[in-house]
Amino acid sequence: MNVQAEKLELMQLLLSTDSEDALKKVKAILKKYAGKSETEYLLSTEANSKHLLQSIDELNNGNKKAIKTKDLWK
C-alpha cells in the first residue's frame, strides 16, 4: 500500500469509528512511519550516515559506556 493510500485509510479509521482495534491499527501505522522517518533522517547525508554506522560499529565491538538518565544533564 502506498503512503497516500495509508494516509487515507488512517483518516477514514479515525473519523468512522471509536473501536479500540482501529485505534491500535492507527498507532501501529504511525509508529512504523515515525521509525522510518527517523532512520531516513539519520541516513539522509553522507556525514550523518558515516557517523551513525561508525557508532553502530563501536557499539557492536564493545566500545560502549553505560550512563544513567539522571546523569545526562550534569
Query: Taking the complete model, does pTM exceed 0.75, yes or no?
Result: no
Tell me the pLDDT tens digit for each residue of 12-32.
767 776 677 777 877 777 777
pLDDT in tens, 46-56: 888 888 888 88
Could you tell me the three cell numbers for 53? 554506522
Rounded Cα–Cα distance for residues 50 and 31 (Å):
25
3/36 Cα distance (integer angstroms) = 12
Cα–Cα distances (Å) from 9 to 34, 56, 59, in that order, read 17, 36, 39
